[in-house]
């Protein structure tokens, strides 16, 4: 009986969301409307990689001739993967965004949102970290980032990873 009710709710939601006036629906697997699909193992994998990215940022920061743009890039990558780990702990449907504020918005944690804004404020748009800005023809990423920015980015990313780790532990 419960399965039949779920199937009926699904049909209603599906037809409401994807009626013929909205165009063709060509996905092989239709979306679900009623349940989430947490993936704790995938969340742990993403968090482990985030930790390794942060370790790599630390290594670059301590290098004889550090490239601070790469320290900032790796801190950004670590935070991005941590946010995706948090998303996987809630549902397998994760964002493809690289925008930290957007990623943090999907997690019900105001401190993570604040940290995302802080880190994004330090590093800016993620593509700016490795590509020269097409508007600013003078400065390249290597000249844009300094030791203080790199230090702040790593510290903020560290806080994000710790907070996400706590978030994952509460979901186990």
Tell me the pLDDT tens digit for each residue of 31-77. 555 467 889 999 999 999 999 999 999 999 999 999 999 999 999 99
Q: What pLDDT sits at residue 88?
A: 92
Whole-number mean pLDDT of the chain? 84
What is d(CA 120, CA 138) in angstroms, rounded to the nearest whole number? Answer: 22
Predicted local confidence at residue 92, as pLDDT:
80
Predicted TM-score (pTM) of the model is 0.77
| 93-104 exposure pattern, b = at least 16 Cβ within 10 A, e = fewer | ebeeeeebeebb
Residue in this structure with the two tokens 């999907």, named with its chain if needed: 106
């Amino acid at each position: 009986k419960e399965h039949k009710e779920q199937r009926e709710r699904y049909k209603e939601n599906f037809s409401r969301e994807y009626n013929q006036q909205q165009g063709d629906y060509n996905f092989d697997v239709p979306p679900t409307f009623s349940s989430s699909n947490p993936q704790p193992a995938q969340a742990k994998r993403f968090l482990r990689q985030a930790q390794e990215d942060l370790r790599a940022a630390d290594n670059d920061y301590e290098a004889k001739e550090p490239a601070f743009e790469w320290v900032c890039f790796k801190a950004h990558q670590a935070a991005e993967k941590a946010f995706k780990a948090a998303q996987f702990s809630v549902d397998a449907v994760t964002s493809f965004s690289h925008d930290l504020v957007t990623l943090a918005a999907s997690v019900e944690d105001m401190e993570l949102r604040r940290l995302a804004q802080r880190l994004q404020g330090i590093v800016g748009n993620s593509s700016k970290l490795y590509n020269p800005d097409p508007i600013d023809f003078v400065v390249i990423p290597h000249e844009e980032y300094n030791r203080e920015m790199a230090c702040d980015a790593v510290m903020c990313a560290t806080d994000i990873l710790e907070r996400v780790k706590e978030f994952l532990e509460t979901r186990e």
